A and B are shown apart, each in its own frame.
Chain A
Amino acid sequence: MTDRQVFPPLTLRATGLSCGRGGMTLTADLSFAVAPGQCLLLRGPNGTGKTTLLLTLAGIVTPLAGTFELEGTDSEAGPQLHYCGHRNAVKPRLSVRENLDFWAQVNGPTGLDIQEALAEVGLGELGGLDAGYLSAGQSRRLALARLLVTHRPLWLLDEPTAALDAEGHELVTRLLDRHLDMGGLALAATHDPITLPDPGRMETLALGVRT
């Protein structure tokens, strides 16, 4: 991947954002901005609203108050984000390749082709296997491959390294670093520390800390 800056310069800006679920406010009055090529790490104990914040930014959960906006997007453009939650959306009855091909077709095949993406996440040999035989870590890798087959500027990652081995952690770091290289944005909720080669690209937002 030699072409840097493939995405238009976008900024994710949230002002006074309050999120919550089931009538309970979890994160109150958050304001932050994520610039192109930046990754915001969400840290905090369990139940402090990391997932809820990501779901809110993905447009799944309505914010209780405040606004957020991906500045610089063309209003005609389609969906701008990839959400990678803790459920992998892998269908056990379809083969690994069919699973990935479905998401490539539905999201638009603008990124790597299927075989390249599978090789990238270390599943290159398993394309024809029923996804039901994959281990938890391999399913996770398949879910990450979905981010590669369609180019989208904003990645919302919820525990991206869950179930992954040490090499898998490096994979997530590598994919994230390359995504930021292309001018992408990322928010990642994680308990495992992610260290990018260039620490200047990372900021940390601590949730659930009383100030």
Chain B
Amino acid sequence: MTALRAMLGRELRLALRGGGDVLTLVLFFIITGAIVAFAVGPDSVLLARIAPGMVWVAAFLAMLLGLDRLFRPDHEDGALILLRQAELPLSAAIAAKVMVHWLVSALPLILASPLLALQLAMDGETFWRMVASLLVGTPALAAFGAVGAAVTVSIRGGGLIAPILIAPLSIPVLIFGVGSITASQSSAALLFLAALSLMAVSLAPFAAALAISSAED
């Protein structure tokens, strides 16, 4: 338990001392929304209609930005090899990394989402459904992202391959994520989204650990 806590503390410190990494993600998220508003034009009916989709696209893209720092620094400085001789299993260490990845790259987006809702002319009720949908769905994106980052960690310059790899996995998350914001049958979609997240979060640490173990071989 102390080992897991140490792992969480280290990951959080490394992420927060990153010198504005978190702020960059948030700005990217907001700017994506602003670009859409400018590109589509001041048609608030149209904007409100595409808003759920745009929020999810912006969140998906912003979360990809943080993927490369998930395992690559530890791979390059040899820490990933040492973690395999630690008292805690590699999958537990990765679970801690996924948790922190969500805390620093999804939670700030959710906190900043009112700004995006404003830009996309979202009404109040839709806004709260969007917050719920992001809260339930982003853990799945973090987990799939970790698997993609783990598979590509030993590829030099593989940081750009991970997003391509995990895009197909993320499509169901986007479908149910947007579905849980748009009005009809939104609660059913939210349940599906929750199921996806639970499955992804519970399986991803083991899949990522397997990928990392075979990457060094």
Q: Name A's B-contacting residues (CB within 8 A).
A: 55, 58-62, 78-79, 81-83, 85-91, 93-94, 98, 101-103, 105-108, 146
Answer whether residue B111 sits at the interface, using C-beta atoms and an 8 A cutoff.
no
Q: A60-B217, A61-B217 are in contact. Are A107 and B78 (CB under 8 A)?
A: no
B58 CB, min distance to chain A CBs, angstroms: 28
Q: A83-B82, A87-B78, A91-B14 are in contact. List 20 more A-B contacts (CB 8 A).
A: A55-B216, A61-B217, A62-B217, A81-B85, A82-B85, A83-B81, A85-B81, A87-B77, A88-B77, A89-B78, A89-B79, A89-B82, A91-B73, A93-B17, A93-B18, A94-B17, A98-B10, A106-B83, A107-B85, A107-B86
Residue of B whose beta carbon sits closest to that of A82: B85
Contact between B84 and A60 (Cβ–Cβ < 8 Å)? yes
The answer for the CA separation of A94 and B82 in the assembled complex, in Å, is 17
The answer for the CA separation of A86 and B81 in the assembled complex, in Å, is 11
Contact between A79 and B81 (Cβ–Cβ < 8 Å)? no
In the complex, chain B residues whose CB is within 8 Å of the CB of A83: 81-82, 85
Answer whether residue B49 sits at the interface, using C-beta atoms and an 8 A cutoff.
no
Q: Name B's A-contacting residues (CB within 8 A).
A: 2-3, 5-7, 9-10, 13-14, 17-18, 73-74, 76-79, 81-88, 93, 216-217
Q: A88-B78, A91-B14, A93-B13 are in contact. Are A78 and B217 (CB under 8 A)?
A: no
- The secondary structure that dominates the B interface is helix
Looking at the complex, which one of A55, A91, A103, A108 makes contact with B77 (CB distance below 8 Å)? A91
The answer for the CA separation of A165 and B17 in the assembled complex, in Å, is 32
Contact between B82 and A102 (Cβ–Cβ < 8 Å)? no
The answer for the CA separation of A61 and B217 in the assembled complex, in Å, is 5
